[in-house]
A and B are shown apart, each in its own frame.
Chain A
Amino acid sequence: MDWLAITLTLKLALVSTLILLLLGTPLAWWLARRQGWWVSIVNTLVTLPVVLPPTVIGFYLLLLLSPQGSLANVAQLFGLTTFAFSFTGLVIGSVIYSLPFVVQPLVNSFAAIPHNLFEVAATLGATPLQRFTRIALPLAKPGFVVAFVLGFAHTLGEFGVVLMIGGNIPGETRVVSIAIYEQVESLQWGAAHQMSLLMLLFAFVVILITHRLQKYSALGLSLPVRSSKAELSKSKHRKSQPSKADYWRDAEAEKNRPVTSGSERDND
């Protein structure tokens, strides 16, 4: 068993996911609350890694990270000539590759929070930051769990991008998927079997646990993220109490619906 590869993989997944949560949270908040061309374009960019072949991402990253690339200057600050074929380079690659798997669940869960809760919070005196920390974050908690698990698991399974920008340096860029590939290439079937089975079991257990914990289907981007159980039962409760006034109100609410795009910042 290639323990070095396993610990490196876990480290890569953990570091990447934490960075992704840090970057992804404000990005998802912005995406969830705004509308317009800019949002669509950014949304598309974020989603691109889902459909692009990893080799394409890897190729562009390679150009970016190479000694002649734009990030070479940054690399020099770290005492490196290039980020390519380094752990840092892998982290950068993973962050881009797994971005949609972290951002999308967060966007979904932010968007699922009823807008009027933020307005009510504002009328109760909550500043924009307080509305984010006191209302948005706690209500989006299930989304964060899903985002973490998906980001983590997806980084574990990364292969193409690593191959392109990382190579196969033990302890630096040789992650499990690369190790398995090499074992198969060199006909070490037994070793490949062990590692593959480990990966399979790990992925299965992680997803099963998440599934049981959150009852979410972690099968793709269209996650049915709900704001919370409480919200669910509340809406059930509402449905069970139809009132004559509902018809009136629906029509009125439709007409009077606030311009939500951009209203959040303007309130501040």
Chain B
Amino acid sequence: MTDSNQAMSDLLTNDQPVLQGKFRLQRGDLTQRTKSTQPFILNCEFKFQRGVTAIFGPSGCGKTTLLRAIAGLEPSAQGSCEWLSNGKSCTIWQASRDEKNGTRPVFVPAYQRRIGYVVQQSGLFPHLSVEQNIRFGESVAAKIKVAKTKATNVTIAEPTKLGLGFSHVIALLGLTKLLQRKPHQLSGGQQQRVAIGRALLRNPQLLLLDEPLAALDQAARNDIIRYLEDLIARLEIPTLFVSHDPSEVARFSDNILIMDGGETLTQGNTQQLLTQLHLPLAQNDHASAVLRATLITAKDAQGLSWLGVGGEKIAVPAEHKKLRQLERIRVYAADVSLALSRALDTSIVNILEAKVSDIQNLDEARVIVRLQLNDGQYLLAKITRLSQMRLNLTLGMQVFAQVKGVALL
């Protein structure tokens, strides 16, 4: 545990936060539209780095509310939200009144924050064509500059250049043929692509994605994931990605903020948090581990490519996509079984030597095991309690992890 904590803090210090703050927001009896009488309290601290941060948590834990507060759509949220550069505060989006210093509260409204905000349901303007939707930000921009200067004495940082113009964005998202259509003529996946393109063309400092895949069916989801992956790899701005789906989290994020009951449970590197057994990610049905792997052989005679992980080789079907020198792979906990010796009479090709580093009960019948590979990376295995007793698994024990499936990320 200690070495992983060390590694985590290393990762955090290496990457300076660019957006940090905390929000407190109470609602309940104030809302007339909310049916629940339970008051909801968001009390959440956050620090985001460049790259993709997934905000993960169960339904109703305040993920969306946090995102809305950051976007400036929750004016009643108390707290602060500020941009940092070189460790110094440079831009304040929100700040509470400070009695000591006599500073006034700051609230930069949503339309003056440079954000790209994509909601679950695309929120396309039904009366505008695809092109008009995408250019909406441009078309209202002229007046913004005027509004900015008179609004507050807050200095607004130069937006991070994405270098994405209109033609670039539509090409990247495959929208060229759809420009003249109206939103209702698009499929769910297409609508969501338009919404993402529209948000990007605003040239945001920060991209907020609130479950952009949740409202889509599987086909549309697969369609859009291709584009998203491409895009996220290119973006240099911090991206926040709300999700309750651990496989999306594993797939897209570099860091995770886990929330529960309106509070930050923990925050850290994706690889680390996915394999912390006491956290909800590892206890989920789709629990998985993400590993770094290096390419050794691309597509041999058997049609397999070999990657190096933990000092051993694992095979993946090569046609997945073009392999990069450094791959991220995902292994579901349910796809890993354990053996005490390296079995040879098995169809399973990928067998990794590992050490049991943690065991946690999932339910009456199953346990989840965290395995440390030779290079310090972690793998998860979901096994039955019966197997645990048969193999007499204990912490620190040497085992062989038989990996049934590997996904390239």
Contact = CB atoms under 8 A, between A and B. Distances in A.
Interface of A: 35, 114, 116-117, 119-128, 130, 134-135, 138-139, 227-231, 233-234, 237-238, 241, 243, 245-246, 248-249, 251-261, 263, 266-268
Nearest to B68: A258
B117 A120 contact: yes
Majority DSSP secondary structure for residues of A touching B: helix
B216 interface: yes
B75 A117 contact: no
Most chain A Cβ neighbours within 10 Å, of B71, B136, B141: B136
B119 A228 contact: no
Nearest to A263: B75
Interface in B282-318: none
A117 B116 contact: no
Which among A127, A139, A238 has the greatest number of chain B C-beta atoms within 10 A?
A127
Contact of B215 (A245, A255, A268): A245
Interface string B103-127: 0000001111101110111010111
12 contacts: A114-B123, A117-B123, A119-B110, A119-B117, A124-B198, A125-B202, A126-B111, A134-B140, A237-B188, A243-B214, A251-B59, A263-B76
Nearest to A135: B125
Q: How many of chain B's residues touch chain A, expressed as a range?
A: 35 or more
B74 interface: yes
A48 B211 CA distance: 45
B1 interface: no
A267 B75 CA distance: 6
B126 A252 contact: no
A213 B294 CA distance: 65
Contacts of A121: 111, 125, 136, 140
B30 A259 contact: yes
Interface of B: 27, 30-36, 40, 59-60, 62-65, 68, 71-76, 109-113, 115-117, 119-121, 123, 125-127, 136-137, 139-141, 143-144, 147, 182-184, 188, 195, 198-199, 202, 211, 214-217, 220, 244-245
A192 B121 CA distance: 58
Contacts of A251: 59-60
A260 B246 CA distance: 31
Contacts of B113: 123
Contacts of B217: 241, 243
B114 to A, nearest CB: 8
Given A237-B188, A243-B214, A126 B136 contact: yes
Which of A124, A126, A231, A256 gathers most chain B CB within 10 Å? A124
Contact of B119 (A120, A255, A259): A120
A228 B27 contact: no
A268 B126 contact: no
Given A125-B144, A263-B75, A234 B126 contact: yes
B73 A258 contact: yes
A254 B60 CA distance: 8
Contacts of A117: 123, 125
B109 to A, nearest CB: 5
A211 to B, nearest CB: 22
A116 B198 contact: no
Contacts of B143: 127, 130
Nearest to B182: A230
A243 B109 CA distance: 34
B79 to A, nearest CB: 15
Contacts of A258: 68, 73-74
A268 B109 contact: yes
B74 to A, nearest CB: 7
Given A116-B119, A254-B34, A263-B75, 12 more contacts: A120-B119, A122-B72, A122-B109, A123-B72, A123-B111, A123-B202, A124-B140, A125-B202, A138-B127, A259-B31, A263-B73, A267-B110
Given A124-B137, A127-B140, A267-B73, A238 B111 contact: no
